[in-house]
Amino acid sequence: MVEVQIYRKVGVVMFDLVIRNARTLTGETMDIGINDGKIQKIATSIPEKGKTEQTLQAGHYLSAGWIDDHVHCFEEMTLYYDYPDQIGVSKGVTTVIDAGTTGAENIHQFYERAKKAKTNVYALLNISKWGIVEQDELADLSKIQANLVKEKLTEFPEFIVGIKARMSKTVVGNNGLTPLEWAKKIQKENHQIPLMVHIGSAPPHLEEILQLLEKGDILTHCFNGKDNGIMEKETHQIKPFVKDALAKGVIFDIGHGTDSFNFEVAKAAYDQGIKADSISTDIYIRNRKNGPVYDLATTMEKLHFIGYSWSEILEKVTCVPAENFHLGTKGQIEVGFDADFTIFEFVDQEKTITDSNGQQQVIDQQIKPVSVVIGGKSYECKL
Identify the CA nearest to 199 among candidates 245, 130, 240, 150.
245
Q: What is the DSSP letter of 211?
A: H
Compute the C-alpha angle 292/297/300, nearest 5°.
Answer: 85
Determine contact, residues 219/244, Cβ cutoff 8 Å. no
The burial of 353, by beta-carbon neighbours within 10 Å (0-12 exposed, 13-18 middle, 19 or more buried), is given as buried
340: three-class secondary structure by DSSP:
coil
DSSP letters, 121-151, are: EEEEEESBTT-SSSTTTTSSGGGB-HHHHHH
Count the residues in the chain.
383
Which element (helix H / strand E) includes 67? strand 66-71
The burial of 294, by beta-carbon neighbours within 10 Å (0-12 exposed, 13-18 middle, 19 or more buried), is given as buried
Annotated binding site: 70, 72, 164, 198, 221, 282
Annotated binding site for Zn(2+): 70, 72, 164, 198, 221, 282
